[in-house]
Amino acid sequence: MAVVGALALIAPHLYGNTSLLFTIMTFVVLAEGLNLMYGFTGYLPFGYVGFFGTGAYGTALLVLHTHLPVLLCVAGGGVASAVIALILGPLLRLSGAYFSIANLAASQIIYFVVSNPDLSSITGGPYGLKLQQIYDPPASYAAMAAILLLAIAIAGYFRMSRFGTGLRAMTEDPVSAALAGIDVVRQRLIVWLASALIAGLAGGTYVWNLSVFYPESVFNLQISVFAIVFALFGGVGTVIGPLIGAVILYSFYAVIGVSAPQYFELLYGLLIVLLVLFLPNGLISLLERKRIRVF
């Protein structure tokens, strides 16, 4: 964890493109947050971007309509996401694929509600929001780094603690886990809220950095897809898996994909197919096969 923190702080001095680094960090946070859900409960929130967007809009609206300091607004964005997660809590009753689709539908609903022209006076509708007054790249960069550390800390906690072992039991076999005294529903809900909180905080910090944004940029399904692919590629259920996955794949994207999106989509699709068929546990599993214990 210290290593990552140090890296995040030094990196801007080594490589001038801080906005790229910022985006990489954003995706690492998202991949880690998604990993919390998928890796530790087996539920894949296909609409993960919904929380990201909710955090973004929550923060933005707080900034525009109240005069609270920025950090509180970002925290508020995270809280907004957690609230939405609580409202969507009943979705956790569903089994795997149903949950994923319903989650996707829910995030699309949030997107349509937020971007609806009828609500422009509150949410800015399809025209987006502008937050010039708090534009502060170095501070938002630091904030994102802090959130990154938080995400890693939570993931580490899940992996190392008794709570985490309970989660893994729950993923494998909920019935036996319940018999063993693990409160399956409550634990799943806690992970769900934590995952949403991380995404919300990330969303809030992202728009803090960006300061002008449209609904499409924070509710884009592609963000969910990236988070899922990054986490899968690196290895779900571990802590450094999503980190490595996000860094490698997003850098790849930044180099090639931005200029030729269709080829990139093709490659991504192929990558996903090959991953699922041959390497469902991600890159990390290659190490684990050699009996190297991975954090």
Partner 1 sequence: MSLLEYALIGGILYGIFFSLVGIGLNLVFGVMRIINLAHGQFVMLGGFGAYVLARALHLNPLFGLPLAVLGAMVIGWPLYYAVVPRLQRSRDPEMLSFILFFGVAQIIEALVTLTFGADQRSLPSDALGSGNIVIIGQAFPDSWGVTVLVSAAAIAGLYLYFSRTRLGYATRAVMADRDEARATGIDVDRVSAIAFIIGLALAGIAGVFVPYMLGSVSPGIGDSLTITSFAIIIIGSLGNPLGTVVGGLVFGIGTMLMQTYYSSWSDLVPYALLVIIVLIRPSGLLGKAVRVA
In 3D, which of 47, 190, 189, 33 has the Cα closest to residue 110?
Answer: 47
Q: Does 1 bind partner 1 (CB under 8 A)?
A: no
Minimum gap (Å) between residue 260 Cβ and partner 1: 10
Window contacting partner 1 (CB under 8 A); options: 4-12, 135-143, 200-208, 258-266: 258-266
Q: Does 87 bind partner 1 (CB under 8 A)?
A: no
Q: Report the helix count and the strand count for the chain, using DSSP H and E.
A: 15, 2
Q: Per CB under 8 A, which of residues 204..243 are in contact with partner 1?
A: 221, 225, 228, 232
Q: Does 94 bind partner 1 (CB under 8 A)?
A: yes
Q: Does 30 bind partner 1 (CB under 8 A)?
A: no
Q: Does 178 bind partner 1 (CB under 8 A)?
A: no
Q: Does 112 bind partner 1 (CB under 8 A)?
A: yes
Q: Does 271 bind partner 1 (CB under 8 A)?
A: yes
Of the candidate residues 24, 75, 85, 91, the single one contacting partner 1 (CB under 8 A): 91
Q: Does 285 bind partner 1 (CB under 8 A)?
A: no
Of the candidate residues 121, 132, 259, 262, the single one contacting partner 1 (CB under 8 A): 262
Of the candidate residues 109, 122, 212, 286, the single one contacting partner 1 (CB under 8 A): 109
3-state secondary structure string, the chain?
CHHHHHHHHHHHHHCCCHHHHHHHHHHHHHHHHHHHHHHHHCCCCCCCHHHHHHHHHHHHHHHHHCCCCHHHHHHHHHHHHHHHHHHCHHHHHCCHHHHHHHHHHHHHHHHHHHHCHHHHHHHCHHHCEECHHHCCHHHHHHHHHHHHHHHHHHHHHHHHCHHHHHHHHHHHCHHHHHHCCCCHHHHHHHHHHHHHHHHHHHHHHHHHHHCEECHHHHCCHHHHHHHHHHHHHHCCCCCHHHHHHHHHHHHHHHHHHCCCHHHHHHHHHHHHHHHHHHCCCCCHHHHHHCCCCCC
Window contacting partner 1 (CB under 8 A); options: 22-30, 86-94, 158-166, 190-198: 86-94
Q: Does 95 bind partner 1 (CB under 8 A)?
A: yes
Minimum gap (Å) between residue 118 Cβ and partner 1: 6
Of the candidate residues 9, 68, 160, 265, the single one contacting partner 1 (CB under 8 A): 265
43 vs 213 by CB, closer to partner 1: 43
Residues of the shown chain interacting with partner 1 in the complex, contacts defined by CB under 8 A: 42, 44, 90-98, 100-102, 104-106, 108-109, 112-113, 116-118, 174, 221, 225, 228, 232, 262-263, 265-266, 268-273, 275-277, 280
